[in-house]
Amino acid sequence: MLEFRKIHFIGIGGISMSALAVLASQSGAWVSGSDRENSKTLERLGKCGLKVYVGHDNSVVAGCDLVVYSGAVGDDDPELKFARINRIRCMERKAFLALMAKECNTCLAVAGSHGKTTTTAMLCWIFKNLGTAFRGHVGGIINGIGANYVDDGNDLFVTEACEYKRSFLALEPTVGVILNSAYDHPDTYPTKEDMYAAFRRFAEQSHVVLAEENCARTLGLYSIENGRDKVYTFGLDEKADFCAADIREERGRFSFTALFRGETIAKVNLAVYGRHNVLNALASIAVCRILWQDAAQAGRYLADFKGVERRFEYMGKCASGADIVADYAHHPDEICSAVDTLRLMTKGRIVAVFEPHTYSRTKALLKEFAHCFFWTDELLILPAYSAREEKKDGLDGVDLACYINQGGECALYMDDYDKAYDYIVRHTGGEDVVLVLGAGSVYSLAQRLAKKQ
């Protein structure tokens, strides 16, 4: 049980904060929370019995013995300032996540530049079906569960371990998973080597490490203390400890055999799309084997795993008859995976709509962004979703569109959602697929196109 009786969350509408708030409530604490604007998340939290509201209310904060705040909350936030002045204990989200993890006997943390949410959701799906006593903290709504958290006991804590602002270094996992280490978050890591050092430290803080084979070599994980006794690898090469063999594909869905040092431990037929999910699923099976869970049964349960909201999500058809697919992809590698998956599934035109996420990322990965839309037939670029940044921090969507056009490709810049909506309705047909990409508010455009608002 948590030592705190009343906890207030500032920025409770965030995907991680909302999950932690419900888990805290179900641990016995009275929970309240505030956010800058109303959302479906706040409505859902209210239905769970939490006191949530938009704006600031120091009278609510005054009755609490802990205030948890998101990393996006500034020091000038009225509720945070009030709490500090009145000597109410304050804790950043990452520290509270680490505290929640310590409430359980075992901590499983999934890190990596991509795939964290899907892999963590896969593990939650597996453990829930296996009847494991666990708590899950996920960065997305798990289809089939309808929530971004699971509270089925306190033997195991399953969580994403986010590298942004080095948050994952607050954790000391029993099993630390590293899916990949592609360079990202230039506002946190000035160089690729800085990011590698952070992932390496995460590995050092983990009792056991499971890392993708190429990633393990890049990070030099075998040289850390205990070497081979501590580090397991997974991948497509038979030299990896856990290997995906006999990989087959049918219209974007994959099946494979999971091997552990040459021995078959599971057969997997995935319901989710994309070759990248072979590695996500293999990592999930490997974790089960490491934790002495039933890996074979885990593989069978993955056949019913339907993914996470906003991860290659089919939205429906727009007025033109075109299919609408939304994906959270906002890094070049993720975009390549989404486009590759869609190309396996359709012979029609792919019309991509991309909202860059942060100015600093757009600037740092400009060349990579310019090349990741090669297999699309038409590309629309929207203004960058600024998140916590200002334009002076990097480049905007119009800069990306100009750069792509200078290279001989064609990108159309649309300066708002309305123009993009009108263009898509007028210039697509029944054989086309519109792929809406981005981690910001562009999901609302996909909903509007699919008439789901």
* Pair 321, 430: CB distance under 8 Å: yes
Distance CA 387, CA 14 (A): 12
The 3-class SS string of 305-342 reads CCCECCCCEEEEECCCCCEEEEECCCCHHHHHHHHHHH
Strand partners, 68: 9, 91
Confidence at residue 198, expressed as pLDDT on a 0 to 100 scale: 97
CATH code, 82:
3.40.50.720
In a domain, 199, yes or no: yes
Residues with Cβ < 8 Å from 87, sequence gap 6 or more? none
Is it the case that residue 55 has pLDDT exceeding 80? yes
Q: Specify whether the CB–CB gap between 246 and 264 falls below 8 A.
A: no
- The answer to whether residues 43 and 142 belong to one domain is no
Establish if 97 belongs to a structural domain.
no
Going by pLDDT thresholds of 50, 70 and 90, the confidence category of residue 133 is very high
Tell me what the mean pLDDT of segment 262-288 comes to. 97
Same domain, 338 and 252: no
Average pLDDT over residues 48-75: 94
Domain that holds residue 281: 104-304
What confidence score (pLDDT) does residue 415 get? 94
Please write the tens of the pLDDT for every residue from 326-358.
Answer: 999 999 999 999 999 999 999 899 999 999 999
Q: Do 342 and 266 lie in a common domain?
A: no
Look at residue 1 and tell me whether its pLDDT is greater than 60.
no
On whether both 18 and 119 belong to a single domain, the answer is no
Q: Are residues 18 and 138 in the same domain?
A: no
Q: Note whether 17 and 47 are same-domain residues.
A: yes
What's the total number of domains in the chain?
Answer: 3
Q: Is residue 146 part of a domain?
A: yes
Asked if residue 136 and residue 58 are part of one domain, the reply reads: no
pLDDT score for 313:
96
Last residue of a domain, one of 61, 92, 123: 92
374 within some domain:
yes
Domain's final residue, options 258, 284, 304: 304
CA gap 147, 142 in Å, rounded: 6
45 and 124 part of one domain: no
Query: Do residues 70 and 162 share a domain?
Result: no
Domain boundary among 274, 304, 334: 304
Percent of the chain surpassing pLDDT 70: 98
Task: Say if residues 315 and 280 touch (Cβ distance below 8 Å).
Answer: no
Q: Is residue 43 part of a domain?
A: yes
Domain containing residue 352: CATH number: 3.90.190.20
200 and 76 housed in the same domain: no
- CATH code, 253: 3.40.1190.10
The answer to the question of residue 98 being in a domain is no
* Shared domain check, 149 and 274: yes
Q: Is residue 99 part of a domain?
A: no
Average pLDDT, rounded, for the chain: 95
Q: How many Cα neighbours within 13 Å face the side chain of 216?
A: 22
Closest CA to 195 of 219, 175, 179: 219
- Quickly list H helices, 206-316: 213-219, 276-290, 295-301
pTM for this one?
0.95
Decide if pLDDT at 223 tops 80: no
Q: What is the pLDDT of residues 396-450, one digit of tens each?
A: 999 999 999 998 889 999 999 999 999 999 999 999 999 999 999 999 999 999 9
1 assigned to some structural domain: no
Q: Same structural domain for residues 177 and 120?
A: yes
Q: How confident is the model at residue 225 (pLDDT cuts 50, 70, 90)?
A: low
Strands 412-413 and 242-250: unpaired
Distance CA 446, CA 453 (A): 9
* Ramachandran angles phi, psi of 150, nearest 5°: -140, 140
